[in-house]
């Protein structure tokens, strides 16, 4: 059960001096280590509800208490906008629900909200199931697979079929590599951004150069190739629909018909590309971590398999089954706590503010380290233990902003319900036929490691052995 942070008072923070970190150390590690969910630059933020530090010329404030997070994401949300760390997304995917601000964001979000309402999503469950079944049918018992690659394929096919009513074709096979390279390039740019060396005009110039027809020098050439490949892919999807219109109520038609069909082509392209990328990337990561944790915790997995057998048996899943798989859902929610794909949120203060008695100067970057909050023993007793029971009915109450796998506040991920439905379906359908075990002889470059880019990914993939269910 979740309570709003305002109702939880037992662990309310005391106003005490903020922890301060050494500017030179943070500046050095920002460029040499960059973002890291566990150690290094961000690892130094652990153990304090509010921490102040500087990287070169930028001021940062890290907040780790749910009351403070509530303030930024809910009560004082109008005093904050997306920080510079989102500029790589804006440069490649344009202005969309992820990068837009203010009245423009609210208007576009309002148009798209009905498409992701649960009552609408229940009607497209069958469009999710078919591609999941196809990916499952292609698995062979005894095979060693990179589950992350398999989940990228599954989630991208689900997005293509259910939101765009199309097959993304060759893009499905190349997306894992494109996303990996693109996110790693973005992380390197973010390191420079932490020093204040990548303001918006620099990203705008890179964007113009990428589409200028001029072949950029390495390593910008690879970034240009990725950007142009994705741009061609999404524009081909839009062009196909314009040539062959349909009456379907999918996302693409919603975009094309929004406000009487008055949205500019550029905005339609930007939103479609964002849903194509964000619609599969975070879910593929979440499912990769889920299967890895299931392989490690076989008791939880056995209980899930029993539930799947009891509810689904060997028949085709349906929308009505989603609410009848509480343990499966709890396993997915706990895996998102343990390894949250969205592992950090950053906002820039556009006016002075006060958080828990601490003055926040205009221009400061406020960091919300979700991975740390999800492993805080005050909200998650024995946090390093994988315990899906935390999410069953009657479980211990926790503050609202102690759990943020989809962000929070008005800007919570619009695709939250879509992703949860998709994840339960993937877990249930694949578990009807297979289990997945960790090999005992993994090579060093196949071992599971955290990689903190814009999302929290398995650096070397998740290598598992496919086993038939008895």
pLDDT at 5 over 50: no
Mean pLDDT calculated for residue range 87-91: 89
Mean pLDDT calculated for residue range 321-343: 97
Mean pLDDT calculated for residue range 124-147: 96
169 or 49, higher pLDDT: 49
User: How confident is the model at residue 57, as a pLDDT?
Assistant: 83
Cα torsion 83, 84, 85, 90: sign? positive
pLDDT band, very low/low/confident/very high, at 10 (cuts 50, 70, 90): very low
The Cα 66–Cα 436 span in angstroms is: 36
pLDDT at 420 over 90: yes
Number of H helices, E strands in the chain: 17, 15
For the ranges 1-10, 54-63, 192-201, 404-413, the one whose mean pLDDT is highest: 404-413
Query: 51 phi and psi, to 5 degrees?
Result: -135, 135
pLDDT band, very low/low/confident/very high, at 9 (cuts 50, 70, 90): very low
Mean pLDDT calculated for residue range 293-312: 98
pLDDT band, very low/low/confident/very high, at 154 (cuts 50, 70, 90): very high
Query: 399 phi and psi, to 5 degrees?
Result: -65, 155
Mean pLDDT calculated for residue range 223-228: 89
286 or 189, higher pLDDT: 286
pLDDT band, very low/low/confident/very high, at 206 (cuts 50, 70, 90): confident
**pLDDT, mean over the chain:** 91
List CB contacts of 264: < 8 A, sequence separation 6 or more: none
User: How confident is the model at residue 12, as a pLDDT?
Assistant: 58
Residue ranges of domains in the chain, CATH in brackets:
2-468 (1.10.630.10)
Q: Tell me the three state secondary structure of residue 168.
A: coil
| Token pair 């499966």: residue | 328
Q: What pLDDT, in 10s, does the model give residues 246-265?
A: 998 899 999 999 999 999 99
The Cα 270–Cα 92 span in angstroms is: 9
Q: What pLDDT, in 10s, does the model give residues 337-379?
A: 999 999 999 999 999 999 999 999 999 999 999 999 999 999 9
CA 295, chain centre distance (Å): 22
pLDDT at 4 over 80: no
For the ranges 3-7, 229-233, 345-349, the one whose mean pLDDT is highest: 345-349
User: 4-13, 26-35, 46-55, 371-380: lowest mean pLDDT where?
Assistant: 4-13
Q: Say what the pTM is.
A: 0.92
User: How confident is the model at residue 6, as a pLDDT?
Assistant: 41
pLDDT at 175 over 90: no
Token digits of residue 162: 């259910």
Strand order in the sheet with 365-368: 19-20, 50-55, 58-63, 365-368, 345-349, 80-82
pLDDT at 1 over 70: no
| Token pair 């009807």: residue | 432
Cα torsion 387, 296, 284, 309: sign? negative
**Nearest C-alpha neighbor of 420 from the set 331, 292, 308, 302:** 331
User: 6-15, 53-62, 225-234: lowest mean pLDDT where?
Assistant: 6-15
pLDDT at 37 over 70: no
Token digits of residue 355: 């958080």
The Cα 17–Cα 425 span in angstroms is: 47
| Half-sphere exposure of residue 248: CA atoms within 13 angstroms, side-chain side | 18
Percentage of the residues of the chain whose pLDDT score is greater than 70 = 96
User: How confident is the model at residue 2, as a pLDDT?
Assistant: 40
User: How confident is the model at residue 323, as a pLDDT?
Assistant: 95
222 or 135, higher pLDDT: 135
pLDDT at 438 over 70: yes
The Cα 56–Cα 62 span in angstroms is: 16
pLDDT at 16 over 80: no
239 or 195, higher pLDDT: 239
């Amino acid at each position: 059960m979740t309570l709003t942070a305002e109702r939880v008072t037992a662990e309310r923070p005391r106003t005490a001096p903020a922890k301060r970190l050494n500017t030179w150390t943070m500046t050095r590690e920002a460029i040499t280590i960059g973002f890291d969910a566990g150690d290094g630059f961000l690892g130094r933020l652990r153990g304090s509800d509010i921490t102040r530090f500087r990287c070169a010329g930028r001021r940062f404030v890290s907040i780790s208490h749910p009351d403070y997070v509530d303030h930024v994401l809910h009560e004082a949300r109008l005093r904050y906008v997306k920080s510079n760390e989102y500029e790589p997304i804006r440069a490649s995917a344009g202005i969309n629900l992820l990068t837009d601000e203010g009245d423009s964001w609210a208007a576009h979000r309002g148009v798209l909200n009905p498409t992701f309402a649960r009552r609408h999503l229940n009607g497209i469950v069958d469009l999710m199931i078919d591609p999941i079944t196809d990916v499952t049918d292609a698995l062979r018992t005894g095979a060693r697979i990179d589950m992350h690659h398999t989940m990228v394929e599954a989630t991208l096919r689900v997005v293509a079929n259910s939101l765009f009513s199309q097959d993304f074709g060759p893009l499905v096979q190349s997306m894992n590599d494109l996303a990996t390279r693109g996110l790693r390039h973005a992380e390197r740019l973010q390191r420079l951004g932490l020093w204040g060396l990548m303001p918006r005009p620099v990203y705008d110039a890179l964007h113009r150069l990428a589409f200028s027809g001029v072949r950029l020098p390495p390593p910008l050439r690879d970034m240009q190739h990725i950007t142009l490949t994705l741009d061609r892919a999404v524009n081909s999807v839009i062009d196909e629909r314009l040539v062959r219109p349909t009456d379907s109520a999918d996302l693409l038609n919603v975009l094309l018909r929004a406000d009487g069909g008055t949205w500019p082509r550029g905005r339609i392209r930007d939103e479609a590309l964002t849903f194509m990328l964000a619609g599969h990337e975070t879910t593929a990561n979440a499912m990769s971590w889920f299967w890895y944790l299931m392989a490690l915790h076989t008791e939880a997995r056995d209980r899930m398999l029993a539930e799947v057998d009891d509810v689904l048996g060997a028949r085709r899943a349906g929308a009505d089954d989603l609410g009848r798989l509480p343990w499966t859902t709890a396993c997915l929610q706990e895996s998102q706590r343990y390894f949250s794909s969205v592992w950090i949120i950053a906002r820039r203060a556009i006016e002075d503010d006060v958080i828990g008695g601490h003055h926040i100067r205009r221009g400061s970057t406020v960091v919300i380290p979700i991975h740390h909050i999800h492993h805080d023993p005050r909200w998650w007793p024995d946090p390093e233990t994988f315990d899906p029971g935390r999410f069953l009915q009657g479980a211990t109450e926790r503050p609202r902003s102690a759990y943020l796998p989809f962000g929070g506040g008005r800007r919570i991920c619009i695709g939250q319900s879509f992703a949860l439905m998709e994840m339960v379906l993937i877990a249930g359908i694949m578990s009807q036929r297979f289990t997945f075990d960790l090999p005992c002889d993994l090579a060093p470059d196949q071992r599971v490691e955290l990689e903190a880019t814009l999302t929290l990914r398995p650096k070397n993939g998740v290598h598992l052995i496919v086993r038939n269910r008895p």
